[in-house]
Structure 1
Amino acid sequence: MEFNPTSASVETEGCDLHFWYQGTGPLLIMIPGGGGIGRQFNLLFEHLDEQFTVCTYDRRQTNASKVNENKLMNPAQQARDIIAIVTALGRQKTSIFANSGGGIIAFQFAISYPEFLDHVIAHETPTTSLLDNSTYRLDRAFQLVDTYRKHGVRAAFQAFMGEMKGYQDYVPAEVLSQEDAENFWENEYLVFTIYCPELRKIVENGVSIAVAAGLASEDAFYAVTTIHQSEILNCPRFIFPSHHSGYEAEPAAFAEKLLAALEHMEQKRQLT
């Protein structure tokens, strides 16, 4: 159906966490990456809501989910935020689709709270410590933070986007506010870039998990990370349409691939 979600909020750990949902069936929570604005997934709702109750949210201290004082992002706390949403919706389990840095939160959730999970798909999660050139990526991360501190948000994003692939002539549907962009560079970017949850613990937990990369992302570092993730997790690696923001660029095709991936994972789980 057309995008017409129900909006709600839940108070958790000092944050009025705003979320919205639409559809019927099992719960599917979509975790946004850097900047934390859930509306980047809105174009997917109408393509998923016949199979799932689709839900997304503004991560804490972004957009509508305000806190009294912004702090360095804590993946453990962000994982607990998902439990707050699941509980508020009266559910016991959820599947998760997470993009970019949101995948760090999804991995952490799979480590800490596997009992709440049906399936997890992490799309282009930047676990740079797994890369062959991890030392370069570590230096690069701190260089970009220095650029932000010396020259501001615009300069940092310009340098950052220089490493993104498949974005030629692409105009994003959603743009971060100045406040959310500053919070990204001040409190999120380094955590998302250099923190890698212990993926082997996810295997021990028996979580149904997969990773995905965008077709147009080619050999961008955040796509190459998914190869290493799939090897450690011993899980499927799907190729989704378009680039890092394929859910906005090609929402219908992206949703079709996402549904097929979740169906594949469910069939595999039923056979085990």
Structure 2
Amino acid sequence: MTQTSSVAAHTLDVPGARLYYEVRGSGPLIAMVGAPMNAAAFAPAAELLATDHTVLTMDPRGHMGSVLDDPEQDSTPQLRADDLARILTHLDAGPAVVLGSSGGAVTILALVQANPELVSTAIAHEPPLNQLLDNRDELRVQTADLVTTYASGDTLGAWRKFFANANIQMPELMLEQMFGGDRDPAQVASERFWYLHEIDGTAWWEPDLAALRTTPVRVVAGIGAESANQFCDHTTRALAAQLGLEPTLFPGAHTGFVEDPAAFVVRLREVLG
């Protein structure tokens, strides 16, 4: 990646954690957040946006550079929203556009509910909101089985179940290359935290639909154009229906900003108008 802007790395102490975040560029503030995806995943897209925006990216609590005082503390959307609110307040550059992907999309919905004054536009890109689906009882069993499988030490088995539940086709060879053999210890630690301390609280967070319907914040329900019939396609469409919104398509699938950051940023600029 060719950098077009300088990157300033920072940490911020918050209750129970020290958060790592990065700031690029200058201009109106855009925050790009994931869970469990960290700042590095958004870096290519952030570089492209930094030509005319200040871009905030961060490691969510418990992952990579954002270290918890208690490593066994669970991560919830409310805690992550509070983390983001503290960073936005510290930067004093809002209200901001916030884009969240997957668990990060759940984070920004929680932020809109708790601190709408910090947000101008919230783009929730494929939030996994199990509570909005009719088969939530079946999903609860699947989620518990997924976590149990990982906790038993069967990492590959857990990832097979994860992608099957998400209706994402993942070849066995690719699974073994990504999640088998010798792996980066920091990535393994991040993965462990997500399975054991984050996925359950994120997937089962229930949005306050009344608050989201009446918020002054512009809420966008984003879906990858190549995510048709995947799990997060269904959850995002359910959210959009509950809020009376038309889903907004972005290039790629669940992680389009990683697959083709240039195309994703072009579409993001169109959505922001």
Q: Normalising to structure 2: TM-score of the pair?
A: 0.88
Q: Hey, what does 1:57 align to over in structure 2? A: 58
Per-residue deviation, 1:167: 5.8
What amino acid does structure 2 have at the position aligned with 1:213? I
Aligned residue runs from structure 1 range 80-99, under 5 A: 80-99=82-101
CA distance in 1, matches of 2:32, 2:170: 22
Q: Hey, what does 2:11 align to over in structure 1? A: 9
CA distance in 2, matches of 1:210, 1:62: 26
CA distance in 2, matches of 1:126, 1:117: 21
Q: Hey, what does 1:266 align to over in structure 2? A: none
Per-residue deviation, 1:103: 1.1
SS in 2 for 1:139: helix
Q: Hey, what does 1:79 align to over in structure 2? A: 81
CA RMSD of aligned residues (A): 2.1
Q: Conserved in 2, the CA contact under 8 Å of 1:212 and 1:237?
A: yes
CA distance in 2, matches of 1:237, 1:208: 13
Q: Hey, what does 1:104 align to over in structure 2? A: 106
Q: Hey, what does 1:66 align to over in structure 2? A: 67
Q: Conserved in 1, the CA contact under 8 Å of 2:167 and 2:229?
A: no
- Residue-by-residue CA offset, 1:140-185 (whole Å, 9 max, x unaligned): 111111211223333212221233436667998xx87110000001
Q: Between the two proteins, what is the percent identity of the paired residues? A: 24
CA distance in 2, matches of 1:213, 1:229: 11
Q: Hey, what does 1:234 align to over in structure 2? A: 244
Aligned residue runs from structure 1 range 31-180, under 5 A: 31-33=33-35, 35-70=36-71, 71-162=73-164, 163-165=166-168, 177-180=187-190
Q: Hey, what does 1:185 align to over in structure 2? A: 195
What amino acid does structure 2 have at the position aligned with 1:204? T
Q: Hey, what does 2:271 align to over in structure 1? A: 261
CA distance in 2, matches of 1:142, 1:31: 26
Q: Hey, what does 1:249 align to over in structure 2? A: 259
Deviates more, 1:129-138 or 1:179-188: 129-138
Per-residue deviation, 1:48: 1.0
What amino acid does structure 2 have at the position aligned with 1:117? V
Deviates more, 1:163-172 or 1:69-78: 163-172
CA distance in 2, matches of 1:190, 1:80: 19
CA distance in 2, matches of 1:80, 1:258: 25
Structure 2 runs not aligned, ≥5 long: 179-183
What amino acid does structure 2 have at the position aligned with 1:165? I
How many residues of Structure 1 are paired with residues of Structure 2 in the alignment? 260
CA distance in 1, matches of 2:50, 2:109: 24
What amino acid does structure 1 have at the position aligned with 2:241? E
Q: Hey, what does 2:214 align to over in structure 1? A: 204
Q: Normalising to structure 1: TM-score of the pair?
A: 0.89
CA distance in 2, matches of 1:185, 1:66: 17
CA distance in 2, matches of 1:110, 1:9: 23
Per-residue deviation, 1:236: 3.8
SS in 1 for 2:137: helix
Structure 2 CA distance for partners of 1:180 and 1:251, relative to 1, 3 Å? same
Per-residue deviation, 1:139: 1.5
Q: Conserved in 2, the CA contact under 8 Å of 1:126 and 1:193?
A: yes
